[in-house]
Amino acid sequence: MKNKQILAAVTIATLFSLTSVHATNMDPVSESEIDKATSLAMSSLETTPVLASRSLSTASVATASTAVTTSFSTVQFLNVETHRFDKGDTNSDARWTDVTAYDYATDELVINVVNLDTNAVVSSKRYTNMQPPLVKDELDRALSIVMDDGEERSIIDDEFKRITGQTLTSMDQLQYKAFTFFADSMPNVVNTASKSCGANRCAQLMLFTHDNIVFEVSPIVNLSAGVVTQRMGY
């Protein structure tokens, strides 16, 4: 009887232990884990700076605004999440993360699976025509591309003057958001230069004042090529 009680106690303790391990492995990633996973994943990718004015297709060049010539890393870090194991996966007790990045050199979404227990990249997969939400670095670069474009800057200056009665002298005077733009979301509106958005990584900027008055112009920026391709109006 005593042996049965001991066996039952051990069994229950083991179950609790397994449950605890599984819960820990599925917990959200911590800041330190994000830093570690990002470092491991990004070091395995090519991050050579390139000019933002990477050429568009011949058809697009004819209608796109003049490209700027600032440089940026070809690989943009996007996100880190806890890896979700398939049912019955023998690695489910390990602490793995999925590190998502965008490779501008090839216009591919890259997902690296990182084992934080062994400090190793387990797998790396690439996907085309997949455009997750933009991160702040991309939002800021989209605005820079717009403001470095002479024609677009002039229009935004005029719009700011119309709304506020003041002269736009600093980006600190603006509020802005950006959304991932897909050409097929507005097939009857996009021009030739914007038709590659979806295969390329594009942003639609929404500009507004600190009083939350929205500008009546909304530039479309091809981040893969580093150009403003179109200007939408409200």
pLDDT tens digits in sequence order for the chain, 234 residues long = 544 443 344 334 334 434 444 446 678 889 999 999 999 999 888 654 544 443 343 333 333 444 434 445 789 999 999 998 888 777 777 899 999 999 999 999 999 999 999 999 999 999 999 999 999 999 999 999 999 999 999 999 999 999 999 999 998 999 999 999 999 999 999 999 999 999 999 999 999 999 999 999 999 999 999 999 999 987
Residue 154 vs residues 79, 95, 158, 160: alpha-carbon distances, Å: 35, 51, 6, 10
Is the whole model's pTM more than 0.85, yes or no? no
Distance CA 192, CA 59 (A): 7
Question: 94 phi and psi, to 5 degrees?
Answer: -85, 160
Compute the chain's Rg from CA coordinates: 24
Residue 127: per-residue pLDDT: 97
Residue 26, SS3 per DSSP: coil
Structure tokens at 66: 């003049």
**How is domain 136-233 classified at the CATH fold level?**
Nuclear Transport Factor 2; Chain: A, (3.10.450)
Catalogue the long-range contacts made by 173-176 (C-beta closer than 8 Å, 24 or more residues apart). 173/209, 173/210, 174/143, 174/207, 174/208, 174/209, 175/207, 175/208, 175/209, 175/210, 175/212, 176/139, 176/143, 176/205, 176/206, 176/207, 176/208
DSSP state of 214: B
Residue 176: per-residue pLDDT: 96
Residue 1: per-residue pLDDT: 52
Whether residue 37 contacts residue 124, with contact meaning beta carbons closer than 8 Å, is answered with: no
Domain map of the chain by residue range? 28-127, 136-233
Residue 24: per-residue pLDDT: 63
- Domain 28-127 and domain 136-233, same fold? Reply is yes
User: Domain spanning 28-127 has what CATH number?
Assistant: 3.10.450
Residue 57: per-residue pLDDT: 37
Q: Could you tell me where the DSSP H helices lie in the chain? A: 2-25, 31-43, 58-61, 136-147, 150-164
Structure tokens at 218: 């909304």
Question: 29 phi and psi, to 5 degrees?
Answer: -70, 140
Residue 70: per-residue pLDDT: 45
Residue 114 vs residues 28, 96, 124, 146, 149: alpha-carbon distances, Å: 14, 5, 9, 36, 40
